[in-house]
Amino acid sequence: MEGGDDFREFQLQVVRMRIAFRQCLQRTLRRHGVNVTFETLQVLSCLWREQGATQQMLAERTARSKASLSSLMNTLEKRGYIERCVGPSDRRNKQVFLSREGERFWLQILPIINELYLRFEQSIGRDRLRDISSDLKRIQNELENL
Protein backbone atom coordinates (compact mmCIF):
# COMPACT_ATOMS: atom_id res chain seq x y z
CA MET A 1 0.00 0.00 0.00
CA GLU A 2 1.36 3.40 -0.98
CA GLY A 3 1.48 6.41 1.26
CA GLY A 4 -1.35 8.83 0.65
CA ASP A 5 -3.93 6.18 -0.28
CA ASP A 6 -6.39 7.45 2.31
CA PHE A 7 -6.23 10.96 0.87
CA ARG A 8 -6.62 9.60 -2.69
CA GLU A 9 -9.74 7.72 -1.59
CA PHE A 10 -11.05 10.82 0.18
CA GLN A 11 -10.57 12.92 -2.98
CA LEU A 12 -12.32 10.30 -5.08
CA GLN A 13 -15.30 10.25 -2.70
CA VAL A 14 -15.59 14.06 -2.80
CA VAL A 15 -15.66 13.99 -6.61
CA ARG A 16 -18.19 11.13 -6.65
CA MET A 17 -20.40 12.97 -4.16
CA ARG A 18 -20.37 16.10 -6.34
CA ILE A 19 -21.31 14.09 -9.43
CA ALA A 20 -24.07 12.26 -7.54
CA PHE A 21 -25.44 15.56 -6.22
CA ARG A 22 -25.51 17.14 -9.70
CA GLN A 23 -27.29 14.10 -11.12
CA CYS A 24 -29.78 13.97 -8.25
CA LEU A 25 -30.60 17.66 -8.59
CA GLN A 26 -31.06 17.45 -12.35
CA ARG A 27 -33.20 14.28 -12.01
CA THR A 28 -35.37 15.98 -9.41
CA LEU A 29 -35.87 19.07 -11.57
CA ARG A 30 -36.65 16.96 -14.66
CA ARG A 31 -39.37 15.15 -12.67
CA HIS A 32 -40.90 18.60 -12.18
CA GLY A 33 -40.67 19.38 -15.90
CA VAL A 34 -37.55 21.57 -15.60
CA ASN A 35 -34.68 20.70 -17.93
CA VAL A 36 -31.74 22.90 -17.02
CA THR A 37 -28.01 22.37 -16.63
CA PHE A 38 -26.22 22.44 -13.31
CA GLU A 39 -24.07 25.31 -14.59
CA THR A 40 -27.18 27.35 -15.32
CA LEU A 41 -28.41 26.73 -11.78
CA GLN A 42 -25.08 27.89 -10.38
CA VAL A 43 -25.22 31.17 -12.30
CA LEU A 44 -28.88 31.85 -11.48
CA SER A 45 -28.22 31.12 -7.81
CA CYS A 46 -25.27 33.53 -7.74
CA LEU A 47 -27.31 36.27 -9.41
CA TRP A 48 -30.26 35.70 -7.09
CA ARG A 49 -27.94 36.40 -4.16
CA GLU A 50 -26.00 39.19 -5.85
CA GLN A 51 -27.63 41.10 -8.69
CA GLY A 52 -25.12 43.05 -10.75
CA ALA A 53 -22.25 40.61 -10.31
CA THR A 54 -19.58 40.94 -12.95
CA GLN A 55 -18.87 38.11 -15.35
CA GLN A 56 -15.45 37.77 -13.71
CA MET A 57 -17.07 37.31 -10.29
CA LEU A 58 -19.48 34.73 -11.71
CA ALA A 59 -16.61 32.82 -13.31
CA GLU A 60 -14.78 32.71 -9.97
CA ARG A 61 -17.85 31.73 -7.95
CA THR A 62 -18.88 28.97 -10.33
CA ALA A 63 -15.30 27.74 -10.95
CA ARG A 64 -15.72 28.17 -14.71
CA SER A 65 -13.41 29.63 -17.31
CA LYS A 66 -14.40 33.02 -18.66
CA ALA A 67 -14.78 31.46 -22.13
CA SER A 68 -17.26 28.77 -21.03
CA LEU A 69 -19.10 31.27 -18.83
CA SER A 70 -19.38 33.67 -21.77
CA SER A 71 -21.05 30.97 -23.84
CA LEU A 72 -23.46 30.20 -20.98
CA MET A 73 -24.21 33.92 -20.57
CA ASN A 74 -25.11 34.14 -24.27
CA THR A 75 -27.54 31.24 -23.87
CA LEU A 76 -29.12 32.70 -20.72
CA GLU A 77 -29.48 36.08 -22.41
CA LYS A 78 -31.18 34.49 -25.45
CA ARG A 79 -33.62 32.72 -23.11
CA GLY A 80 -34.38 36.05 -21.48
CA TYR A 81 -33.12 35.01 -18.03
CA ILE A 82 -30.36 37.61 -17.70
CA GLU A 83 -29.46 41.11 -18.82
CA ARG A 84 -25.90 42.36 -19.21
CA CYS A 85 -25.01 46.00 -18.74
CA VAL A 86 -21.77 47.91 -19.07
CA GLY A 87 -20.24 48.48 -15.65
CA PRO A 88 -20.13 52.06 -14.36
CA SER A 89 -16.43 52.02 -13.50
CA ASP A 90 -15.07 49.76 -16.26
CA ARG A 91 -16.81 49.53 -19.62
CA ARG A 92 -15.02 46.25 -20.39
CA ASN A 93 -16.43 44.52 -17.32
CA LYS A 94 -20.14 43.84 -17.79
CA GLN A 95 -22.51 43.49 -14.87
CA VAL A 96 -25.09 40.73 -15.02
CA PHE A 97 -28.63 40.93 -13.65
CA LEU A 98 -31.49 38.47 -13.48
CA SER A 99 -34.27 39.67 -15.75
CA ARG A 100 -37.91 39.49 -14.66
CA GLU A 101 -38.18 36.22 -16.57
CA GLY A 102 -35.01 34.96 -14.85
CA GLU A 103 -36.42 35.86 -11.43
CA ARG A 104 -39.72 34.18 -12.29
CA PHE A 105 -37.90 31.02 -13.40
CA TRP A 106 -35.69 30.99 -10.29
CA LEU A 107 -38.70 31.44 -8.00
CA GLN A 108 -40.38 28.54 -9.81
CA ILE A 109 -37.50 26.12 -9.17
CA LEU A 110 -36.29 27.41 -5.79
CA PRO A 111 -38.91 25.50 -3.74
CA ILE A 112 -37.92 22.27 -5.51
CA ILE A 113 -34.24 22.86 -4.73
CA ASN A 114 -34.97 23.86 -1.12
CA GLU A 115 -37.05 20.71 -0.59
CA LEU A 116 -34.19 18.58 -1.89
CA TYR A 117 -31.71 20.33 0.43
CA LEU A 118 -34.08 19.80 3.37
CA ARG A 119 -34.31 16.09 2.57
CA PHE A 120 -30.50 15.87 2.55
CA GLU A 121 -30.30 17.65 5.90
CA GLN A 122 -32.91 15.36 7.44
CA SER A 123 -31.27 12.25 6.03
CA ILE A 124 -27.71 13.06 7.10
CA GLY A 125 -28.42 15.34 10.05
CA ARG A 126 -27.64 19.02 10.40
CA ASP A 127 -24.98 18.53 13.08
CA ARG A 128 -23.21 15.90 10.98
CA LEU A 129 -23.32 18.18 7.92
CA ARG A 130 -21.83 21.03 9.96
CA ASP A 131 -19.03 18.74 11.15
CA ILE A 132 -18.29 17.55 7.61
CA SER A 133 -18.32 21.15 6.32
CA SER A 134 -15.93 22.18 9.06
CA ASP A 135 -13.60 19.29 8.21
CA LEU A 136 -13.69 20.16 4.50
CA LYS A 137 -12.85 23.81 5.25
CA ARG A 138 -9.93 22.67 7.39
CA ILE A 139 -8.65 20.43 4.58
CA GLN A 140 -9.04 23.29 2.08
CA ASN A 141 -7.02 25.58 4.36
CA GLU A 142 -4.30 22.94 4.71
CA LEU A 143 -4.10 22.51 0.93
CA GLU A 144 -3.94 26.26 0.35
CA ASN A 145 -1.08 26.57 2.84
CA LEU A 146 1.06 23.65 1.61
CA–chain centroid gap for 20, Å, is 14
CATH of 5-144, one of 1.10.10.10, 1.10.10.60, 3.30.300.20, 2.70.180.20: 1.10.10.10
Rounded to two decimals, what is the model's pTM?
A: 0.83
The 8 Å CB, 24+ separation contacts for 22-26 are 24/116, 25/113, 25/116
CA separation for the pair 128, 7 (Å, rounded): 20
**In tens digits, what is the pLDDT along the chain, a chain of 146 residues?**
578 899 999 999 999 999 999 999 999 999 999 989 999 999 999 999 999 999 889 999 998 998 889 999 999 999 999 999 987 776 777 899 999 999 999 999 999 999 999 999 999 999 999 999 999 999 999 999 98
Give the helix/strand (H/E) hosting 84.
strand 82-86
